[in-house]
Structure 1
């Protein structure tokens, strides 16, 4: 296995900031060196750390820095890293981080980890047309320069090809990963609930989401009217924070669902395996632009079935499980009926062992790191 080196340019460092892109960056730092890919990373944050495997992580600017300062600092830090380390390739996880430094790459191969369409996601969350247009231009500049792309799902591969004009032969699908051992707890559901202080004896549905419009949480809250009719003692737990928190709480009150829906706020990453284990069922009610759905994978790793809307890459996460886990639609009625069928036994659900086995076979981080290393070596050739 030929040793190669990669300069990784990320959005943030997972222990400091939480998100799917940050999670992937963090775990690639932990697992890529085992695949013969030396790892050196630059991120927005305060980190300065060398891992046991030799991976080096440094920040190019603090998270409080203004946008102009971030861009200037990123450009300078990347140029210095290229001069000092002379990596074989550059791997970019966020277009804005690399765009100012593109001229310094010269002929060096660049792999883009496409975590999502920045411009399209901004539009879906209410950004103005000028901001969306500028973000799209930044993305196009970076993607035009890339040698290879890593996408999380076929859905994102299609967006890259159709919306950004990327040749399909440059696009390689490598799904998100999960540390299977971390989520495979010995606790029973009863024990997990006792540790969390959750009620025993009630069917519990959990969703772990950023509280923004495209995540489908309003439809999920609305679906509880139908779900409570069929499963009167059901309890929905919503873990996460975001700008829609107040509107969701108001909606819960307006529908009289205070005894059936709880907004938990931010749940620390260390507590998430226990929360997944404590739930009878998890749900991903996304409405648009869900490229993969890492929290769905985490739920499965804990042995808890997860129901998903037919959006983006979500069906790909549960593909291969012996169960009817894809909901009929994204609307409240489809969510309510599907969840009720799952909780009452009318819809087939996979066993806990089957959920865990799927994750270990297809999504455990050593598997994902090996597939990523193969894409990198292809870019070097």
Structure 2
């Protein structure tokens, strides 16, 4: 990992949500990556997350678990404030990095005078509204977002698309910096061929396999993808779609597969462990991200590329920004079952020239590897500190 020389070390306080090892998710993955990689960029790290006490020990005290995620909300917030006060009394940070507004909003004023960098992981209230959460909850989420985003010195977004969304909260676009998501390329580049990966997972060797790794919620477009396979199989009769992930739509999606007579062509793999995920990507001919709304970047895109497997994406949010520089052919013309079916058919029949294994990994390493992204984030932190001083 490249280590950059800096005139002085700076101290950051990261306000996350949960800890990745206990509650895997995109935001959690990013916070863990920053805890691990920022010190090499001259940025020391302390972090506040909702997690078990085991996390304090496993991170040698770097991460403070202020409460467990299942603790009642009021008790959780009170515990958060006590932990924040304790960390402040030990040492005032040079910069506060806020990732999750629910936990950032109650403590930001404890750090008056300290520059704040807001990591914008997505429009929480809009996502909740799309998932039909109660309107009162949506309004509370929006109020927390509005309050937190008023306190930023600089803002980090994953894509131009999310930068535009952030301006709808009244954030000055001149304070927004685009830093993409990151991936540990060394972990995903497992150095095995497709046949070996399929043997490991007991997958068929003689069928083209398309992999979709997604949380099973409506905005991910999984319903469209299942419907698309009905048309793909007309031209690629042995196609197999594997859907990996969990979520509230799991039962409905399985019923959809059965209703459309696709049980021989679509397999629900359920939750896939972090340890086996690179093998799943490597086993596939290609992966696909069929999102229909609110996609800031799509970490699964760069995970697939880091594994050497090309990925097709819908033209939603930041997805095109993640893959188009590698090949514009990876971006579909539009969302929906018809477009997904046409693109998959063309790719499987060789009518689209997909990037090869080596090109995918090289691209991921040059743009999204951990140290590459950590260096960019450290630069934004220093910019915020310089601006405040």
User: SS of the counterpart of 2:14?
Assistant: strand
1:319 Cα offset (Å):
2.2
User: SS of the counterpart of 2:329?
Assistant: coil
1:50 Cα offset (Å):
5.9
**Does structure 1 retain, via aligned residues, the 8 Å contact 2:285–2:309?**
yes
Partner Cα distance (2:89, 2:152) in 1: 20
Partner Cα distance (2:57, 2:293) in 1: 36
Partner of 1:377: 382
1:74 Cα offset (Å):
1.3
Q: 1:237 aligns with which of 233, 242, 246?
A: 242
Partner Cα distance (1:332, 1:123) in 2: 23
1:55 Cα offset (Å):
7.2
Pair 1:222-2:227 in alignment: yes
Q: Output aligned runs, 1:72-87, within 5 Å.
A: 72-87=78-93
Q: Identify unmatched segments of 5+ residues in structure 1.
A: none
Partner of 2:3: none
Q: 1:343 aligns with which of 334, 345, 348?
A: 348
Q: Output aligned runs, 1:187-336, within 5 Å.
A: 187-322=192-327, 324-336=329-341
1:351 Cα offset (Å):
1.2
User: SS of the counterpart of 2:205?
Assistant: coil
Pair 1:365-2:344 in alignment: no
Partner of 2:73: 67
**Does structure 1 retain, via aligned residues, the 8 Å contact 2:49–2:63?**
yes
TM-score by length of structure 1 reads: 0.97
**Does structure 1 retain, via aligned residues, the 8 Å contact 2:288–2:311?**
yes
Q: Identify unmatched segments of 5+ residues in structure 2.
A: 1-5
Larger mean Cα displacement after TM superposition, 290-299 or 60-69: 60-69
Partner of 2:102: 96
Once the two structures are superposed, residues 31-65 of structure 1 have per-residue CA deviations (whole angstroms, 9 ceiling, x without a partner) of 000000000111011121364xx770120101211
Q: 1:43 aligns with which of 40, 43, 49?
A: 49
1:129 Cα offset (Å):
2.2
Equivalent residues, number: 378
Partner Cα distance (2:369, 2:97) in 1: 21
**Does structure 2 retain, via aligned residues, the 8 Å contact 1:29–1:55?**
no
Partner Cα distance (1:219, 1:68) in 2: 40
Partner Cα distance (2:37, 2:278) in 1: 21
Deviating runs (4+, > 3 A) in structure 1?
Answer: none
User: SS of the counterpart of 2:352?
Assistant: coil
Pair 1:115-2:83 in alignment: no
1:105 Cα offset (Å):
1.3
User: SS of the counterpart of 1:241?
Assistant: coil
Partner of 1:182: 187
User: SS of the counterpart of 2:119?
Assistant: strand
